[in-house]
A and B are shown apart, each in its own frame.
Chain A
Amino acid sequence: MITIEHLSKTYRKGAWALLDVSLQLDKGMTGLLGPNGAGKTTLMRILATLLAPTSGQVRVNGISITRPEEIRPMIGYLPQHFHIYPQLTGRDYLDYAAVMKGIKDREARRKEVARLLETVNLQDKADKKVRTYSGGMKQRLGIAQALLGSPDILIVDEPTSGLDPQERVRFRNVLTRFSIDRTVLLSTHIVADIESNCRRIAVMNMGRLVMSGTLGELQACGNGQVWEAVLSADAFSRVDPMQVVSTKAVPEGILCRFVGKRPFADAHPAEPSLEDGYLALLRRDRDV
């Protein structure tokens, strides 16, 4: 469990990357949503003990973040940008990471590495040099690295970027299985990743936590804010593109979906999706 209280972080230039964030992450998977620059990565780096907060308190399984050496053995972390030594094979790399995570027994390490290679579907490429891997394969190796040693806390920053749809599904399932009895924090801007995995959700915007709750609560943020209208091609070309969240070709013209105030008198209200709720929340926050 991770408890965050009044957490703030400012960099040298003075802008607040995080401002008074308080949040509790229980067992299970929590999705962290937010636009670029919202402070997601800063928060995750603080939780991964890579960055010291400017103020506030964080406790990981009851241990204060001011004692990072005691927290690191409990954590698996996959950063947003992940590179590894190209000269190594996937297996060598995971063996190295396993030793660094304290798995001393050679046989136990071999088994764990083999299991994780299979989990991320890299068993066939395990003995190839990393330099021959595609971006997605490297990302999968990074995921395997984060899962090594079955850490109590898993922090993954944009893990599905670069994965093809099939691998993304596979990865979601891995995370879902892994999150049983563990705390997993998944940062992403792909709402579908969260929709299919997370029990809870936290939304950040401009360094602040703007919402924390269940998927349903986020979805409910879109109530009364989502509209649909069928427009002719000519009318569609005159619409502010920022207002439109999705379009669909229908026999009568183009079915457009809007989030925010009613765009036209003949637009009719629609049932919000999770993404609509998220967008409505961000717009409301921006307007405030």
Chain B
Amino acid sequence: MCKWWRHAVLECRLLFGNPVFASLPVIYAILFAMNMLNSGGGTEQNLYTMAYKFHMLGHTMTLGPAMLIGILSMRRDVLRRSFEWNHSLPVSFLTLLSSKYAVSMLYLSLFTLPTAFIFYTISISQGIAGGIAMHYTMQFAMQYEISYMVTLALAMVLGASIPNRIVYLIGFCAWMFGTFFMDIFIITQLGWYPAEVFHLNQFFIQSEALQYENWSYALISADISRSRWFVLAFTGLLLAVSLLLLNRKRPTMHVKRIWAAAVAALVLAGAIFMPYGSLWAERYEQLGSKLSDPSIGLTDDPVPATIFTVSSYDLELKRLPNDNLRVTARLRIPAGELAGKSELPLTLNRFFTLERVRIQGNDAPYRRRGEMLTISLPANSRQEIEAELVYFGSVMDYRTDYSRNDFAAFSLGDEVKLEGHMAWYPLPGHQHVYLKQVETSSPYITLARRYGIQRYSVGDMKLKVEGYSKPLYSSLKEVERGPGYQIFESKGIGQNVSLYGGSFWTEVHRPDFKVRIVTTPYLEKWAEGLLTELKGKYDYFAAWIPGMSTDIDTILCLGQGIEWPHAEHSLILSSREYTYFSSNLPGEWVNYMLFGDQPAYYGNYEHPEQDVRNKIGSLFWYVYYIEEKGLSDKQLRSAYGHLRSVQELLFKNGDGTDPQNKIGIGMARQVRRAMKEGKAEQVKKVLAHYYGHGLQFPDTERYPAMKPEAPVTYEEWVKRWKQTVGE
């Protein structure tokens, strides 16, 4: 130990005595602190995301010194002939190697510790709970340390095995290959996702899995922990190989022991790779079985399903301690819906195993083919059908389509994403949940939702969830919340219902507003500002739209995880992806509250005079921006993206003389002139009239039971305008 310590002291002196090496951690800490102090709100500028993005590049850069130090520590003495005197000393290479490794790690920890301290301190100063800040601090710090450990060990192997100076070039290539090249080409472009474990620092620049707080570490905790254990074992293997290589440089009587250690390290690394490999084997097995399943349709010609009405769903979902879900689904199908049919066709995702199926209280035979479930009905049944299904299973539905590498559905701990289109409850008819593309060099499975072929009934839904330690959020109204359970219920809705949850999610409320924002801790302060702005806009419209009411009471503002922003009954799902600048999120949300999701919204650019509902919808915002903000048309045009869009009115195609432009610009001019003349009340009256008429654009394809709205022709608009506002 005395020799180990003395050599470590020497290594410290050599490493910390080098002014370049000594100054690097200081410079790094200063850069990190400056970056973090510039963090603000928003999905991209919050402290967590800013820190992660800094680490993506910053930490990757620090692996360069790690690589250099590893190689240098070998070449400095143990590999140099002129330092042969130290080979004649009664000191083992294990002593030298381990002390060099420990001191190099100590040095590299100087990159970790200040970043951890700065991140934690600023997190606390921003009001983040200590436990949450510490959780992320530890995740970052652990990732730093593990990355340094493996990089250093790799560098030592290179240093011990390549005596030529070309080792520096090879080390540089290993650094670049193990980070950027592997990230961009091997993992992302080739789609070899299991190779992530060999990425040197795991702060991927191409993957967003951990860039945002939502559904990040907790969701892939198994990947992370198994991968880290493997990396540690692999580090051990690299060090054992280094030791082996060094001991080939001089005779030793412990050859067998050293070989045994190397072989043991190899076996250990192989054994520890198994759990990690099995995760991926399971995922690829899932994908493979879907690709070979003839019940999954092709993306080339997806066919919409024929459905029937389900008058009510009564769902009970219970999370068991092993993350298995046990669901009891009771469906009522009105008499006559299946008249003359001997079978009840339903769709239930394959990740569930059916335990029991009952029709009218009696066990009923059934058969399954992929997602398609067919239940035999009693003969000559003319009454309302009551079906009860009990099923269970764990949900981690992996997908890799379109360069994605994530989960389409999951329930792991408190991380939950169960969307209606995934058929986590029985959907009416035989529907596709997945589609496949096989006539390509890389066949893939994608979600049928992308192709808009799923159909939903309209009716009542009740859902009880149990077993989660944190609240879940559903597109159904939450009617009761107690310890360990929640009840959601809505009547007469499109039965496409989702359920979401996250372990660190937090609710932002205002006592004077019914809407809450559910967000992640690092977005909380920013969300408070958004909620205030949202209330201001909401109050503006509520003041003059007599029938304005909205079911929406919850906004999930999570930064990532929602494929595209949309409203679903009482829930707005907001996302960073496919959305506008975050400065206008409250505008988007109020638009959802005014008009809903407007799923069938269309431009009708060829014959705009046939339906001007989209332009009338934009006029609400046009009036708002004139009255509340005093903006001119020019300002509105130039602020595109930062405001709720009024481009349906102001958008110019070429010289602005086509009918689309003429109608839009004409309506805007009408309104601005009237407002200027003090006829704001009359304008609002016209708009309120059409609000009552309906500007929701309901999706009658996906929800065949919904009634379509009547279009509003330009002629009708002009007539109404003249009646209310005048010429």
Contacts and interface: CB of A to CB of B under 8 A. Distances in A.
- Whether both chains belong to one complex is answered with yes
Interface of A: 45, 48-52, 65-70, 72-73, 75-79, 81-85, 87-88, 96-97, 99-102, 104, 142, 145-146
Interface stretch (B80-88, B424-432, B505-513): B80-88
Contacts of A82: 82, 85
B85 A96 contact: no
13 contacts: A51-B251, A69-B90, A69-B254, A72-B88, A73-B90, A77-B84, A79-B82, A81-B84, A83-B82, A87-B14, A97-B89, A99-B6, A100-B89
Q: Which of A68, A70, A76, A87 has the most CB of B within 10 A?
A: A68
B85 A78 contact: yes
Interface string B79-108: 011111111111110000000000000000
A190 to B, nearest CB: 21
B2 A96 contact: no
A66 B253 CA distance: 6
B330 interface: no
Q: Which of B10, B82, B85 has the most CB of A within 10 A?
A: B85
Interface of B: 2-3, 6-7, 10, 13-14, 17, 76-77, 80-92, 250-254
Given A77-B85, A77-B88, A99-B6, A83 B253 contact: no
A65 B252 CA distance: 9
Contact of A50 (B3, B80, B84): B84
B256 to A, nearest CB: 13
Contacts of A102: 3, 90
Given A49-B88, A69-B92, A82-B82, 12 more contacts: A52-B251, A66-B253, A69-B252, A70-B253, A81-B81, A83-B82, A85-B77, A96-B7, A100-B3, A102-B3, A102-B90, A142-B85
A104 B4 CA distance: 12
B91 to A, nearest CB: 5
Contacts of A100: 3, 6-7, 86, 89-91
B251 A65 contact: yes
Given A75-B88, A96-B6, A68 B82 contact: no
B88 A48 contact: yes
Contacts of A65: 251
B107 to A, nearest CB: 15
A99 B88 contact: no
Contact of A87 (B17, B87, B92): B17
Contacts of B85: 77-79, 82, 97, 142, 145-146
Contacts of A67: 253
A72 B89 contact: yes
A195 to B, nearest CB: 27
Contact of A68 (B14, B80, B84, B251): B251
Contacts of B2: 99, 104
Contacts of B17: 87
Q: Which of B6, B76, B90 has the most CB of A within 10 A?
A: B90
Contacts of B13: 87-88
Given A68-B251, A87-B14, A99-B3, A50 B82 contact: no
A78 B87 CA distance: 11
